[in-house]
Structure 1
Amino acid sequence: MLTAPLLSVVIPTRDKAASLRATLTALAAQGRPDGYEVVVVDDGCTDGTRELLHRLAVDGRVPAPQVVDGPRLGRAAARNTGARVARGASLLFLDDDILTAPGHLRAHQEASGKRALVHGLLREFPGARRWLDRYADAGEAELAAAAARVVAGSEGRLVRNTLESLICAMDEGRVPPVAPWAACVGANTSLPRRLFEEAGGFDEGFGLGWGCEDLELGVRLYEAGARAVVPAPAAGVHLTHARPDRWEQHDANLKRFGALHDLRAVRELPRLLGEGGGIAAYVTACTQ
């Protein structure tokens, strides 16, 4: 009988084979900390992702993930699908374009607790598309070394978006904890399975649109007694990519979020997450 892992890494993906390869290679470069598995949710890929996963598994250079078909109903539904088949006592939701450093998985494991919402801070890598093209034909060892340089900041400029800046500022006590649930960022956040199930998982009503389905779960998790933990070694780097209709999708999901939770910190989110938003305006609006 297989022993259930302590941590399940759930990675939803759709047509991002190059960045997914980098994500899995960076995970593999951490070594094999005890007790984790990787579940990849193929949410309708048509770009050779399945072939990539098969090749990596055959080569044996990355931990062979369990691959399941997603429902093609958006990120919330894909993450829920992965969570249902995952066997771990804790769930780490990681996006298919996140680079991590050694110690990342261990940091999530060690910070885990009955009500802990563990978030790894993220920085953006604006040069990611050129970087992926540069290493498209590289072997796994070369790609892993390049990924480590990205995380270290030696492959190009890294920046922090406004949401991550707010999480960091709240964690460090530089601003009031106006939205502690904002630490529930689906790209790099872990929590106990029981807490995830108690809160009801991600709301699949957000559908195919981008944004806010993870923050909305965060509100429900906080209502269930969760508290954010932000360990430095759990940080990662997002391989930045363009999303032409980003603001239209995000505005629609913000409206749904506001309809579900009549909270000032939710209503004022456009001041933080909207085009040109910032921390100062948001915190002021939430505390005045």
Structure 2
Amino acid sequence: MVSISVVVPIYNAIRTLPSHLGAIARLNPMPLEILLVDNGSTDGTLALLHDFTRDHSSFGMKVLEEPRRGAAAARNAGFQAAKGDVIAFIDSDCAPEPTWLSHISEPLRDPRVGAVAGRVVAAPPASIMELFSALYTLQLPDRPARSRRWTPWEGGYVTANFAVRRSLLMGLNGIDENTVGGTGAGSDYELCARVYAADFEIVYVPEAIVFHHHRTTLPGMVRQAFDYGESHAYLISRKLTGGLWVDLPMRPFSWKGCPVHAWLDLASADKKVLSVMVLAILYGPALVLLIPYAVWLVVITNRRAMRFGSTVTLSGSVALAGLLLVKSFAMTAGRWWGSVKYGALCL
């Protein structure tokens, strides 16, 4: 097996660190080293890291401190200090299964494979907010895939569960720290695009599982959705030479020869609400259409929760529908802002 360095960017993660570190300690096989990169935490995280590494000195754990803010900067600090042939990134709110690294390493026997992505599964939610995030965030398939290019609809994987050859990452000058004002949002998809541009493939392995603890607060979810939306415009402007990509309610449509950089999501919940409101300006009674649409949102969010294995009350289903609207409006706002900022049409 190739030698693997695990790199974990960490910021104020006192809530999720115990389960994360416990899962890391149960990995089999163990990696060459585990680099825990604190990014300026103020909640006792750093002390917990030092205590844990002292008590588990045989595990090859090392605590690093990176003052430059942002997960991308922390990941770069970890990879630059790493010694393994492969850098396996995982977030501090994720807990890997014991066999995580064995699944990650297998595809890298193929020299055409530059990186491997694994599946991110929601940890059991403890609140409506966490349940909503579990239902509508990081929805990855359960079938393997082999990708050779990035587009708005394919080839993008998250660094919460992502391994890349160290030599390749060095040749790419690490992770882009400038996406979305240095927040790191979109840096994972941006890295995927550069891996493909370097003529490597990315293999998605659904058996390489980490369990993810999602956002627990409404402001955190809104901020994340806005940043993701802005990153979409950044990626369109930087990583596509042209093309029109349209998400429609029934099926997507693309025109790769279009000279305009454009990604239009016309299927999101907020766009449907806005469409009814525009129609109501022309014909006032059309506003009543918002009532059946609201009922439909409650029904579909409840069905999704049931498929996830959660029983939700009527008030809970209403809350889920409301959160879906809030998230979609926040993401569209981020896309609008990114379109102005980066000169790409992304709505």
Q: TM-score, with normalisation over the residues of structure 1?
A: 0.72
Task: Report how far residue 225 of structure 1 moved.
Answer: 1.7
Tell me how many residue pairs correspond in the alignment: 243
Structure with more strand by fraction:
2
Task: State the match for 2:206 in structure 1.
Answer: 232
Match in the other structure for 2:305: none
Change in CA separation of 1:182 and 1:209 when aligned onto 2, cut-off 3 Å:
same
1:194 alignment partner, one of 138, 158, 167: 167
Shift of 1:247: 2.5
Compared CA separation, residues 47 and 34, structure 1 to 2 (3 A):
closer
Q: CA deviation at 1:8?
A: 0.6
Deviation for aligned residue 1:179: 4.5
**Residues 1:227 and 1:161: Cα distance change in structure 2 (over 3 Å):** farther
2:90 and 2:160 in contact (8 A); partners too: yes
Report the secondary structure of 1:71's partner residue. coil
Contact map agreement 1:28 1:61 (CA 8 A) in 2: no
Amino acid at match of 1:106: S
1:54 aligns with 2:28: no
2:35 paired with 1:39 = yes
Identify the residue that residue 25 of structure 1 maps to in structure 2. Answer: 22
Confirm or deny that 1:221 pairs with 2:216.
no
Matched, 1:268 2:263: yes
| C-alpha contact (below 8 Å) 2:53/2:62 kept by paired residues | no
Q: Paired residue for 1:149?
A: none
Matched to 2:156, the amino acid is A
Show the 5 A alignment for 1:49-198: 49-60=45-56, 63=59, 65-113=61-109, 114=111, 115-125=113-123, 127=125, 159=134, 161=136, 163-165=138-140, 168=142, 171=145, 179-183=153-157, 185-198=158-171
The alpha-carbon distance between structure 1 residues 102 and 254, as it changes in their structure 2 partners (threshold 3 A), is same
* Contact 1:120–1:234 (Cα < 8 Å) also in 2: yes
Partners of 1:29 and 1:102 in 2: CA distance: 6
Q: CA–CA distance in 1 between the matches of 2:97 and 2:32?
A: 16
Percent identity at matched positions? 26
CA distance in 2, matches of 1:14, 1:25: 18
Following superposition, the deviation at residue 10 of structure 1 comes to 0.6
CA distance in 2, matches of 1:9, 1:271: 39
Distance 1:271 1:27, change over 3 A: farther
* Aligned equivalent of 1:144: none
Pairwise CA distance, 1:169: 6.2
Change (3 A) 1:66 1:82: same
User: In the alignment, which residue of structure 2 is the partner of 1:245?
Assistant: 223
Uncovered stretches (5+) of structure 1, i.e. residues with no partner: 133-155, 278-288
Return the alpha-carbon distance in structure 1 between the equivalents of residues 92 and 173 of structure 2.
Answer: 23
C-alpha distance in 2 between matches for 1:123 and 1:116 = 23
Higher RCO, 1 or 2 (CA under 8 Å, sep at least 6)? 1
1:159 CA displacement: 4.7
DSSP-derived class of the 1:234 partner: strand
Aligned pair in 2 of structure 1 residues 172, 38: CA closer, same or farther (>3 Å)?
A: closer
- Give the root-mean-square deviation of aligned CA atoms: 3.4
Within 2, Cα distance between the matches of 1:100 and 1:157? 22
Match of 1:16 in 2: 13
